[in-house]
Amino acid sequence: MVTGEIEPGSPVYRSALAMNDPPVRFPEAWRANIRGVDLNLQYPAGWEIARQLKYAAGFVKPGPRDFVGPYPLSEPESRAVYDFTLSRNFRLALAYHTQGKVIYWKYQDYLPPRSQEIGMALSRLSGYALETTPDYSGHAGYKDWFIQNFNRPAYTIEAGIGTNPLPLSQFGEIYEDNIGMLTYALLATR
């Protein structure tokens, strides 16, 4: 994601600023990488559906959010996470996002063993609601790909609440909400 670490006035900064459409606070409110691709819309699990949905909503070019890229895994950041995941034997995945205090646990009709049970425990431990992902956001994410590819539990955790980027002052509350979940997730599939 664009985090403000690029030098204002540099060619990279000017290029990203030119993509800031629809306009958001730049670079603070960007949800895309420096090339204007939303990294959580890059995985090969319903990527074509995500593209149709996002294009229909007007996200047809690089910008601050919701552009799926030219093809799945087109971005080096997404490809690195994908390759890293394939090189390991993870039994469960947690994809952290902000914000909403919600845990999304399902992808389409896939139901990996114990996924709902584990999700309910994560919800109890955190106080976050356990929900199915809204269709508009329910494709091409890391969680979606992990579930589809491995038939193992995966969750998108929307930590904290408010307007992104969340203030650092929420860190303590987010930590307290999530430490039990993280500990449980480490042991849940042993």
Of 5, 117, 131, 158, catalytic: 158
Q: Nearest 5°: CA angle at 142, between 140 and 85?
A: 135
Say whether pTM exceeds 0.85. yes
Task: Establish whether 158 is a catalytic residue.
Answer: yes
| Cα of 188 vs its chain's centroid, Å | 22
User: What are the structural domain ranges in the chain?
Assistant: 1-88, 89-190
Going residue by residue through the chain, which has 190 residues, state the pLDDT in tens, using 9 for 90 and above: 566 677 888 888 888 888 888 888 887 788 899 999 999 999 999 999 999 999 999 999 999 999 999 999 999 999 999 999 999 999 999 999 999 999 999 999 999 999 999 999 999 999 999 999 988 889 999 999 999 999 999 999 999 999 888 999 999 999 999 999 999 999 998 8
**How many Cβ atoms sit within 10 Å of the Cβ of residue 33?**
20
